[in-house]
Amino acid sequence: MKLNEQASSIAPRTDAARQAVLVLEDGTVFRGKGLGAFGQTLGEVCFNTSMTGYQEILTDPSYAGQIITFTFPHIGNVGTNEEDTECRLPRCRGLVLREDVTSPANWRARGSLDRWLDDRNLIGIAGVDTRRLVTRIRDRGALRGCLAFAPDGGYDVAHLRRAAMHWPGLEGADLTGEVSCVEPYEWTEPPWPINAGSGQAQFPDCHVVCVDYGAKRNILRSLAGLGCRVTVVPARSSAASILALRPNGIVLCNGPGDPLATSVFAVPVIRELLTSGLPIFGICLGHQLLALALGARTVKMHLGHRGGNHPVQDLECRRVEITCQNHGFVVARESLPAELEETHTSLFDGTLEGLRVKDRPVFSVQFHPEASPGPQDSHPLFERFTNLMRQ
């Protein structure tokens, strides 16, 4: 199997061989119980501090190329269902857990997490000292790792470490090709009451084009729920093809990888879209790409933001919002040109969390307003964007 391939199933699992291993590039080894599919996978080992929403996290396209460590110990306890997904197939490389997955205990559950992982060719490992692992990431920054789950439980640790060391990492990587749609499509599904099933947006009065760098479905639902007709286009769409759809506004969606690598094709398009005068809303990677298009720069963080408990302050009204975040790169505040104004800042580490263009209806945020950790602290950002279109 190629080193950068996703894990794949090999043979039916037996109780006699359940051991899996995670080997970091610095030689640290974590052993535990294997979950999901057999195979071997490589990625950047990160951690997420959320206490809920593990299915949404695992299906967030922004996790492409990453192995997710959950700091909350009880993952899998509410099972899985068909509704709580952010994309059709998960793009993360694997997951690391403290406790073993228990039987589902929730009225919405339709299956176990272990079976869900196996069906989607994802490798997991449980029984790991996640506190030790997170401390290592905290001190040394994001580390490359190799996660393996073999039918016979046998591992060549030295080989796995070499594989991790030779994996190129996320810096300099454009991963939008792994997660973006391949052709435009219409999205009509708004948010729905729990277990009531999806519906269809009624009487949309604004047309929004969402550039799919790895869009989460709940961004699309949030827009449809506010009366928008939503068209999703591939990441490499030209400005001419986007404007030919005659949108009232444009959303630059989230996505994985290094924004500087993605900017090679995305920034010229965004600069042309900026001349249209249309309202533009950037989210996460879209926020970073917008900043690059306007002359700022981005840098890789020593420790990324991933979780549902990140306090961010709106600098205009001084309001504090509890936000959901998932990013390992950030816009450098000192690089902002005169036309850009900072609107939000992180109360964790003081990093830049939001921007607006002073003389145009263009703004962006680093966090995810479609998520609900607050639970709805950041939803007004979508209302702000739709109001700009209606004006």
Judgement on whether residues 247 and 98 belong to the same structural domain of the protein: no
Residues 331-378 pLDDT 10s: 999 999 999 999 999 999 999 999 999 999 999 999 999 988 878 889
Flag whether 329 is marked binding: yes
User: Is residue 362, in this structure, part of any structural domain at all?
Assistant: yes
Digit-coded pLDDT (tens) for 58-81:
999 999 999 999 999 999 999 999
Amino acid found at 310? H
Mean of per-residue pLDDT scores for the chain: 93
pLDDT in tens, 86-106: 998 999 999 999 999 999 999
Residue 9 has pLDDT above 60, yes or no: no
Token reading at 315 = 């600098």
Q: 147, 166, 185 — which closes off a domain? A: 166
CA distance 365 to 382: 11
Is it the case that residue 192 has pLDDT exceeding 70?
no
Q: Residue 248 annotated as binding?
A: no
Q: What residues does 312 pair with on adjacent strands? A: 321, 346
pLDDT of residue 4: 35
- Which of 166, 186, 220 is the C-terminal boundary of a domain? 166
Residue 289 is labelled as binding a ligand: no
255 is in an annotated binding site: yes
With 0-12 / 13-18 / 19 or more C-beta atoms within 10 angstroms meaning exposed / middle / buried, residue 137 is buried
Q: How many CB atoms lie within 10 A of CB 4?
A: 14
Residue 9 placed within a domain: no
Residue 10 lies in a domain: no
Flag whether 94 is marked binding: no
Q: What's the confidence (pLDDT) of residue 270?
A: 98
pLDDT at 15: 52
CATH of the domain at 264: 3.40.50.880
Identify whether 52 is part of a domain: yes
Domain CATH for 25: 3.50.30.20
pLDDT at 193 over 90: no
Q: How, if at all, do strands 249-252 and 228-234 pair?
A: unpaired
Arithmetic mean of pLDDT, 28-39: 97
Are 187 and 280 members of one domain? yes
Task: Collect all residues with Cβ–Cβ distance below 8 Å to 189 and sequence separation of at least 6.
Answer: 198, 199, 200, 201, 217, 220, 221, 224
**For helices 380-390 and 217-225, what crossing angle results, to 10°?**
50
Q: Can you give the pLDDT at residue 70?
A: 98
Q: pLDDT at position 2, please?
A: 35
Residues 188-204 have a mean pLDDT of 66
Banded pLDDT at 201 (limits 50, 70, 90): low
- 1 pLDDT higher than 80: no
Residue of 11 and 135 predicted with greater confidence: 135
Domain, as residue range, for 296: 176-390
Give me the pLDDT at residue 194, please.
53
Task: Please give the positions annotated as active site.
Answer: 284, 368, 370
Q: How many domains does the chain contain in total?
A: 2
Amino acid at 149: F
Kindly state the average pLDDT of the residues 22-49.
97
